[in-house]
Amino acid sequence: MKRIAYPTVRLAVFFVLLGIMFAPSMQAGEKGKAQIVCPIMGGPIDKTAFVDYEGKRVYVCCPGCKSTFLKDPKGYLKKMESEGIVFEAAAATEKNPAPEQQGHHGDTHHGCGLHS
Q: Is 74 found in the same domain as 49? A: yes
Q: Is 5 found in the same domain as 51? A: no
Q: Is 40 found in the same domain as 10? A: no
Q: Is 95 found in the same domain as 75? A: yes
How many secondary structure helices (H) and strands (E) does the chain include? 3, 5
pLDDT for the residue numbered 56 = 96
The span from the CA of 104 to the CA of 26, in Å, is 36
pLDDT for the residue numbered 91 = 84
The span from the CA of 39 to the CA of 62, in Å, is 11
Q: Is 78 found in the same domain as 46? A: yes
Evaluate whether residue 113 is within a structural domain: no
pLDDT for the residue numbered 100 = 42
Q: Is 54 found in the same domain as 37? A: yes
Evaluate whether residue 87 is within a structural domain: yes
Evaluate whether residue 112 is within a structural domain: no
Q: Is 45 found in the same domain as 2? A: no
Q: Is 82 found in the same domain as 67? A: yes
What pTM was computed for the model?
A: 0.58
Q: Is 39 found in the same domain as 20? A: no
Q: What is the greatest pairwise CA distance in the chain?
A: 78
- How many domains, in total, are found in the chain? 2
| Domain of residue 19, residue span | 1-31
pLDDT for the residue numbered 93 = 57
Q: Over its length of 116 residues, how does the chain's per-residue pLDDT go in tens digits?
A: 555 566 666 656 555 444 554 444 444 445 789 999 999 999 999 999 999 999 999 999 999 999 999 999 999 999 999 999 999 999 875 555 444 444 443 444 456 766 65
